[in-house]
């Protein structure tokens, strides 16, 4: 069965990505545009600084409250960040699964259609 561009786009537009998926893939994916890469770099620098602060706090034997605060802050923020990106991936995979089911195509066929019809 051959699926035309119009058929594919009609079903694809029926299940648009939500804003959270758009944000995650726009700023934190391998295909991030150069103009949007500053967000990912800023987040990475923030996490690196928190890690270095915790490391220096342990090396310089700063107070337990300081080390604990930095460590817990780093752990909570990093875990939340990673889990939210995983959630975006799972939501997008679910959306694509619904599109594939409606079109009646396999994963490879969907990837082929998407690379052919989506700019």
- Residue 98, classed as helix, strand or coil, is helix
DSSP designation for 11: H
Mean of the per-residue pLDDT values for the chain? 93
pLDDT band at 1 (very low <50, low <70, confident <90, very high): low
pLDDT single digits (tens) 22-41: 999 999 998 889 999 999 99
Q: Where in the chain are the domains?
A: 5-117
The answer to whether 17 and 92 are in contact (CB under 8 A) is yes
Q: What is the per-residue DSSP string for 24-92?
A: HHHHSSTT--GGGHHHHHHHHHHHHHHHHHHHHHHHTT--HHHHHHHHHHHHHHHHHHHHHHHHHHHHH
The answer to whether 105 and 113 are in contact (CB under 8 A) is yes
Residue 72 Cα distances to 5, 26, 36, 105, 107, angstroms: 50, 28, 29, 46, 40
pLDDT band at 8 (very low <50, low <70, confident <90, very high): very high
CA–CA gap between residue 31 and residue 27 (Å, rounded): 9
How many residues are listed for the chain in this entry? 119
Per-residue pLDDT, 35? 93
């Amino acid at each position: 069965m051959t699926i035309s561009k119009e058929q594919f786009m009609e079903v694809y537009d029926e299940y648009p990505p939500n804003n959270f998926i758009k944000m995650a893939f726009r700023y934190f994916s391998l295909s991030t545009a150069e103009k949007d890469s500053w967000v990912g770099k800023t987040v990475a620098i923030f996490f690196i600084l928190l890690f270095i602060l915790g490391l220096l706090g342990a090396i310089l034997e700063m107070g337990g409250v300081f080390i604990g605060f930095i460590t817990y802050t780093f752990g909570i923020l990093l875990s939340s960040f990673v889990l939210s990106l995983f959630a975006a991936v799972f939501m997008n995979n679910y959306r694509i699964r619904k599109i594939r089911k409606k079109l009646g195509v396999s994963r490879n066929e969907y990837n082929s259609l998407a690379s052919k019809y989506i700019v």
